[in-house]
Structure 1
């Protein structure tokens, strides 16, 4: 297929995944802020903005106070924020229009309906009373698009580029949440093991939709090292780094079969995956979680760029 079409599919699903991940992170931050005093609540909102990589833009637009309503309106709908959920949904719809001839009617309709609905509900200020419903709608619309793709798309190169965009973005998001929460939310060891500590780690899991799965596997025990291992290495959990890289491998292999040639992206993907799986959680902690995640993010970004070079994406 044309590089321009591959680029449109890849970024369509990256934007949708990013919008959903942003909504999950805001929801976790809101729940955490409700349990804390005003000063600590501001620090929780700062953590959300830092995780999303919006700290500089937010402080330039809104200052350094990090009030809840100010933060979630900036993240969700601020017209001056090019990384807001509203901007991402609009970008996803633009990409869907560009590749309209290579996606099914059901996928196009799901994307277009999501854009129309979210444009309406994010067109006015979001308050705390509406926030839960708004976040639920963002997650639900993303799920509907993904369901339309899984239920109607041929398993061809178009489908594989969509999956590559999804799992590149998902791996990046999980890694950033684990990194920033570990170091920003818990800057010292003093609260470890306390009820507050357990709530904080519960919200780390909630922000990646992993709370129920982790509790089921670990009898409800909240252990920071165990949570880190779960989000990095557990190939059963669909938002873990290991799961994402397993799917990236299979989709790149399918593309290599379809196009009759192995690309450099496959080599990079295998290097990243082999390093990920070969480094046990004890080695991760010894190396330093922050350093390990930094290396992973660099490799993930290198893979994304190589995919775009290999398949001649056009901006």
Structure 2
């Protein structure tokens, strides 16, 4: 496979995952803001922008963290080059580049959802329409992933796409947990019963984990359990452990197909050595923020090594 095609598949699914994760974060922020007073709602919208790493760009364009301003900036803001509309345009552009390596089902799912989202985001999104738009973004991700899983050969293109998915998904979960945990519990102490359970539910909703966590924990919301669930639970498809296992499996398949281990596989093994058999108590002893920063740095290193090993830019 040409490096250019591998790069297109890798980034097609990174952008798809990023758009869906952003929609989930906005949806959770909207749910929280609608149940709070003006001051608390503004703080919630500020945390959404902070989690996305877009504070400087947002504050350059807006004077306050009003919900309408925030979701339009994130979804379609012309001063925000990383808005969701632009992300899905990149999904389509990369799908076009890799057109001969994806099925008609995948192309149709991408193209039809792009046209729908482009129309929805062509003008400012009002409060009555924001739920519809966020739902459309999430459904677009579901439909493209479903078409891909159901119609693509398990060849190297499949494994590049899946590697991109799990690199992006792990990064998103780590960023949400790091930012939200810092805002909710700056002391990094997980003991105490006075925490706002609504905020912790919002963390879980941001990663589509509220129902799964509630089922596993009989509805008990507490910080330690949430961190253990999102970091170490290998059953939840958006946990760091699940994403790391899935990434390892896809990189192993690429190594088998190419007949050689590269730097990305070596970095994967190093990451495994740091995380294998880790307990939630050890995560807190290290410092959750420090652990997550290290995890995200490792994730970036592996992504860069994939690009270098398989000559994405050659």
Give the TM-score taking structure 1 as reference length: 0.96
What is the Cα deviation at residue 287 of structure 1?
A: 1.4
The aligned counterpart of 1:199 is 198
Closer/same/farther in 2, CA of residues 215 and 48 from structure 1, 3 Å limit: same
Show CA shifts across 1:9-68 (max 9, x none): 0000000000000000000111111121111111100100010111111111113x1110
For residue 138 of structure 2, give the secondary structure of its aligned residue in structure 1: helix
Q: 1:172-183 counterparts in 2 under 5 A?
A: 172-183=171-182
Q: 1:1-315 counterparts in 2 under 5 A?
A: 1-63=1-63, 65-187=64-186, 193-194=193-194, 197-314=196-313
User: Does the 8 A contact of 1:265 with 1:310 survive in 2?
Assistant: yes
User: Does the 8 A contact of 1:242 with 1:277 survive in 2?
Assistant: no
User: Does the 8 A contact of 1:14 with 1:168 survive in 2?
Assistant: yes
Show CA shifts across 1:96-144 (max 9, x none): 1111111111111111111100000011111111111111110001110
What is the Cα deviation at residue 187 of structure 1?
A: 4.2
Q: Hey, what's the Cα distance between the residues in 1 that align with 2:54 and 2:150?
A: 35
User: Does the 8 A contact of 2:190 with 2:224 survive in 1?
Assistant: no
For residue 313 of structure 1, give the secondary structure of its aligned residue in structure 2: coil
What is the Cα deviation at residue 191 of structure 1?
A: 11
Q: Hey, what's the Cα distance between the residues in 1 that align with 2:218 and 2:96?
A: 46
- Number of residue pairs aligned between Structure 1 and Structure 2: 313
Q: Hey, what's the Cα distance between the residues in 1 that align with 2:190 and 2:39?
A: 18
For residue 101 of structure 2, give the secondary structure of its aligned residue in structure 1: coil
Q: Hey, what's the Cα distance between the residues in 1 that align with 2:207 and 2:172?
A: 9
Unaligned stretches of 5+ in structure 2?
none
Give the TM-score taking structure 2 as reference length: 0.97
For residue 129 of structure 2, give the secondary structure of its aligned residue in structure 1: helix
Closer/same/farther in 2, CA of residues 155 and 181 from structure 1, 3 Å limit: same
Q: Hey, what's the Cα distance between the residues in 2 that align with 1:14 and 1:248?
A: 13
Q: Hey, what's the Cα distance between the residues in 2 that align with 1:270 and 1:278?
A: 14
User: Does the 8 A contact of 2:190 with 2:223 survive in 1?
Assistant: no
What is the Cα deviation at residue 185 of structure 1?
A: 3.9
Q: Hey, what's the Cα distance between the residues in 2 that align with 1:190 and 1:16?
A: 34
Closer/same/farther in 2, CA of residues 33 and 187 from structure 1, 3 Å limit: farther
Q: Hey, what's the Cα distance between the residues in 1 that align with 2:295 and 2:36?
A: 32
Q: Hey, what's the Cα distance between the residues in 2 that align with 1:20 and 1:123?
A: 18
